[in-house]
Amino acid sequence: MNALKLTKEQQDEAIRTIQSYFQEERDEELGDLAAWGVLDLFMTKLAPYIYNQALSDARTTVNQRMASMEEDLFALERKLPSASR
């Protein structure tokens, strides 16, 4: 499987978010390199868990919708005429 990737704009925004978080919550100023390290940690170690959970959630939703569609299709079936002899 391919590694999860962010666009340059998404990376820049993520780094700004990390820096802002550290400043507001921990009163620490984080440089670009340190923020990149945090982002890399999240992308390589934590993102796969989130990705897999998202797939599981999507699978559950698709299965629920398929079951609902199957019920709808059965509801459309017509009764067969009785066999007359």
What does 10-57 look like in DSSP terms, one character per residue? HHHHHHHHHHHHHHHHH-----HHHHHHHHHHIIIIIHHHHHHHHHHH
Higher pLDDT, 82 or 53: 53
Confidence of residue 64 (pLDDT cuts 50, 70, 90): very high
pLDDT of res. 51: 94
pLDDT of res. 1: 59
Does residue 38 have a pLDDT over 70?
Answer: yes
pTM: 0.68
Asked whether the beta carbons of 19 and 35 are under 8 A apart, the reply is yes
pLDDT, tens digit, 9 for 90 and up, residues 66-84: 999 999 998 898 888 887 7
